A and B are shown apart, each in its own frame.
Chain A
Amino acid sequence: MEQILSILVRNQPGVLMRVSGMFSRRGFNIDSLAVGITQNPEFSRMTVTMKADDLTIVQVCKQLEKLVEVESVKVLPPKASAKRSMVMVKVHAGEKRLELLRLADVFRAHAVDVTGESLTFLATGVDDKLNAFVEVMRPYGILEMVQTGLVALERGDTHMSVDKSRYEWPKANAAKTSVGV
């Protein structure tokens, strides 16, 4: 079954490799992965989706928590979480320009680039919707597309946070705001 993991990690070089390395080394498969900064520049947040039964996901969490750069792990409740991923589709437009724009509107997709030959749409949503959008675009000739991993936050007032790291890490440079991957 599809599981969504939210992982707070230290924002420093190598952390993505350590986390993804744990998955491959222990035979767990990542379906999608998204990484970005958080309100605190010391931490990044990873959202991982994977197929796993309830016993396996407990093991995945424990193995993640074992990594010293991982500060907090949570399996998000699928129904009580806000979830989005994003897709960009560059599609051959030709004479079907208006038709495509109308179809995109159904999916609340925006045109982010227009040329004489092509249209590039950006759509957000969960996988089912994005897949449907891509399938609708397909007959017109998709030139290229790109999709992000899912990002998700639990609904309601609960929130993951790190009060204090397990370890006293060397102080990061104050100016550093880029994502350490």
Chain B
Amino acid sequence: MQMTGAEVMVRCLEEEGVSTVFGYPGGAILPFYDALRESKVQHILVAHEQGAAHAADGFARASGKVGVCIATSGPGATNLVTGLATAFLDSIPVVAITGQVPTVMIGRDAFQEVDITGIAMPITKHNFLVKDPAHLAQTLRLAFQMAKTGRPGPVLVDVPRDVQTAIVDYVEGVLPPVPEDEPSDEVIAAAVEAISKAERPVMLIGGGVISADAEYDAMHLCEKLRIPVVSTLMGLGAISAYRSLFLGMTGLHGHERANNAVKEADLILAVGTRFNDRVTGERKTYNENKVIIHLDIDPAELDKNIFSTIGISANMNKTLQRLEAGSEPHDLSAWWQRIEGWPSMDEDFGDESAPEFFKALNPVIKDKDYIITTDVGQHQMWAAQHLRIQFARQWITSGGLGTMGFGLPAAMGAQLARPKSRVISLSGDGGFKMTGSELFTIASYKLPVTAIVFNNSGLGMIRQLQTVSFAKRFTACEFPGYVDFVKYGEAFGVKGEHVTTPEELAAAVEKAMEMDEPYIIEVTVDPKNMVLPMVVPGAGIGDYVKFTE
């Protein structure tokens, strides 16, 4: 069948089952937009391309499907960069389609020309510049296949304007997922034996468990063996925080019990984590006197940051199932007794007031199909510490890149991916100012996202770091002016309210959940709050900063 390149692009999106794309038009992508007009694929016109990239990312995190964002050449494409890097660092399947100047103009510094494939090279799994219209369909199919295969990630396809208008032959087709390796019998036997000999085992869950949809396999394994479980920031929700085996989050701002358990463990079964520095603290001492069993679909992660005793790079579901089938529980009562001597995640590390806001939300969100997205900074850490996340894909946060401004556009994507769920976006006042313009998009499409802005009139995490590392020489951490975020919402027709106490916040969120429209809640937070506990930067896990006021 003959059609234009632009029509081929739209057909490919339909073939992949794409329901929603996030984008912003411009000259070089207009043929595609013209073809998209005739399609059932829903286009969400965002306020800024960064919002489109984060929304596609949030869509993917909430659904497990590939998120799609669209931008034009030049500034449209460069505005995607932060969003693509965010998805890359957290291994999220996203396909970005950008327009490019016509092929004859490439290299002439044409209007709105930028070498986006060159720019995006280190922050995408792969990217393509399609110069031959005959390659367009197969390239787009490859992009989806690569985004989903093995360790997921963003893939960018740059399509010159003349390739979009060229007439090409189109034949239907979808590329099947690339099969993953199965674990070998030897490596499973070695891991089973190591686990059976461990006196103080800990299972460490990372975001890879959620990417692989392996949360049930992980749960069955730890439940059978009664192994204590800790999670990274990215792994929260894979194991319900209400399970008795769950000790909490480990890492820089991890729970004391979780970090102590990691520190004293004689075996760590690390599943779908890359041992980021925010997880390990001082790398050289992390695996001292420990057996490390490392499961990751990406073989390059094995022995990259932490040297493993047994490294397994294979399909995660099957690996976990085979470990479960091969293992038998053994007596860990002495280890559990030791663990229960440490403060649980419900016990306070300090007497800060801000965590109370987050604790107050737990009764509201418990057992509900609510998705929580966060921005980056203090509120993100308080949420990770104090919210009790129960389900995989309920917790959406920028972990690897730590992108301020991620939360609100990601919430928009998550809400479109799961229209029956309700999305609660948590931000600080700093991050909300970065991409808060997407509240306009949320309002325009009447998405029932509840945006909570924790307003401490400044950058709390910066203040905290300047307290710890710069002897309280505060600079650039207080905003010189004030914004009324409720009034800001009003400008877009979004209702909202100010709250000052945890009880008011819980009531406001409950009220918002009864409504079927966007809502904004501004929470006044004392800027002096610290995120506690905090591991000494560069020190081993479990070595905490002592704050004295």
Contact of B146 among A21, A68, A170 (CB under 8 A): A68
Query: Is the pair B303, A65 in contact by a Cβ cutoff of 8 Å?
Result: no
A65 to B175 Cα, complex, angstroms: 21
CA distance A17 to B302 in the complex (A): 25
**Cβ proximity bits B117-140 to A, threshold 8 Å, 1 near / 0 not:** 110011001100100101100110
Which residues does chain A contribute within 8 Å of B118, judged by CB atoms?
A: 14, 17
Which of chain A's residues 58-88 have a Cβ closer than 8 Å to chain B? 58-59, 62-63, 65-69
Q: B residues within 8 A CB of A62?
A: 299-300, 302, 304
Residues in B whose Cβ lies below 8 Å from that of A168: 138, 142, 175
When distances are taken between beta carbons in the complex, the residues of chain A under 8 Å from B334 are: none
Given A17-B121, A21-B121, A68-B126, verify A170-B299 contact (CB < 8 Å): no
Q: Which residues of A contact B171 (CB under 8 A)?
A: none
CB-based contact B134/A170 at 8 Å:
yes
Residues of A within 8 A of B139 (CB): 170
Q: Could you tell me the distance in whole angstroms from the C-beta of A178 to the nearest C-beta in chain B?
A: 14
Of chain A, the residue at the smallest CB distance from B178 is A166
For the complex, is B298 an interface residue (Cβ under 8 Å from A)? yes
Say whether, besides A166-B178, A168-B142, A14 and B117 are in contact (CB < 8 Å): yes
Alpha-carbon gap, A69 to B138, bound state (A): 16
Q: How far is the CB of A165 from chain B (nearest CB, A)?
A: 11
**A104-155, CB < 8 A from B:** none
A170:B132 contact, CB within 8 angstroms:
yes
Complex CA gap A25/B123 in Å reads 11
Find chain A residues with CB under 8 A from B302 CB.
Answer: 62
Contact with A along B298-341 (1 / 0, CB 8 A): 11101110000000000000000000000000000000000000
Kindly supply a per-residue 1/0 record for chain A positions 4-31, scoring 1 wherever the CB is within 8 Å of any chain B CB and 0 otherwise: 0000000001100110010001000000
Tell me if A174 counts as interface (CB < 8 A to partner B): no
Q: Tell yes or no: B145 within 8 A of A by CB.
A: yes
Distance from A107 Cβ to chain B, minimum over Cβ atoms (Å):
41
Cross-chain contact A55 with B300 (CB below 8 angstroms): no
Query: What is the bound-complex CA distance between A25 and B139, given in angstroms?
Result: 26
A173's closest neighbor in chain B, by CB? Answer: B132
Q: A21–B122 contact, CB under 8 A?
A: yes
Give the number of chain B interface residues (Cβ < 8 Å): 23
- Whether A66 contacts B122 by the Cβ 8 Å rule is no
CA separation between A139 and B134, bound complex, in Å?
58
Q: How far apart sit A18 and B118, CA to CA, in the bound complex (Å)?
A: 9
- Interface centre among B118, B121, B134, B139, by most chain A C-beta atoms within 10 angstroms, is B121
Q: In the complex, what residues of B have CB within 8 A of residue A63's CB?
A: 300
Q: Which of A14, A17, A65 contacts B300 (CB 8 A)?
A: A65
- Chain B residues near A68 (CB-CB < 8 A): 125-126, 146
Interface contact A59-B146, CB-CB below 8 Å: no
In this complex, what residue of B is CB-closest to A67? B126
Q: How far is the CB of A14 from chain B (nearest CB, A)?
A: 7
Asked if B300 and A167 make an inter-chain contact with CB atoms under 8 angstroms apart, the answer reads no
Chain A residues closer than 8 Å to B178, beta-carbon distance? 166-167
Give A168 to B175 CA distance when docked, in angstroms.
8
Report the separation of the CA atoms of residues A122 and B46 in the bound assembly, to the nearest whole angstrom: 61
Q: In the bound complex, what is the Cα–Cα distance between A66 and B122 (angstroms)?
A: 12
A67 to B122 Cα, complex, angstroms: 11
- A2 to B: closest C-beta gap in Å: 22
Question: Is A59's CB under 8 angstroms from B304's CB?
Answer: yes
Smallest CB-CB separation from B141: which chain A residue? A168
Residues of A within 8 A of B145 (CB): 167
Give the chain A neighbours of B298 by CB distance below 8 A.
66
Q: Which chain B residue has the least Cβ–Cβ distance from A59?
A: B304
Question: Chain A residues with Cβ under 8 A from B117's Cβ?
Answer: 14
Within 8 Å by CB of B142, from A17, A58, A59, A167, lies A167
In the complex, A66→B142 CA distance in Å?
Answer: 16
**Which single member of A14, A65, A166 contacts B299 (CB below 8 Å)?**
A65
Contacts known (A17-B118, A66-B298); A55 close to B175, Cβ less than 8 A = no
Q: Write the B78-94 contact mask toward A (1 if CB under 8 angstroms, else 0).
A: 00000000000000000
Q: Across the interface, do A170 and B138 meet the contact criterion of CB distance under 8 Å?
A: yes
Are A170's CB and B135's CB within 8 A?
A: yes
Task: Determine whether the beta carbon of A55 is less than 8 Å from that of B303.
Answer: yes
Mark contacts of B203-222 with chain A using CB atoms, 8 A cut-off: 1 yes-contact digit, 0 otherwise: 00000000000000000000
21 contacts between A and B (CB under 8 A): A13-B129, A14-B118, A14-B129, A17-B121, A21-B122, A25-B122, A55-B303, A58-B303, A59-B300, A59-B303, A62-B299, A62-B304, A63-B300, A66-B298, A66-B300, A68-B146, A166-B178, A167-B178, A168-B175, A169-B138, A170-B142
Q: Which 8 A-B pairs have the closest CB atoms?
A: A170-B135, A62-B300, A170-B138, A68-B126, A66-B300, A63-B300, A25-B122, A62-B299
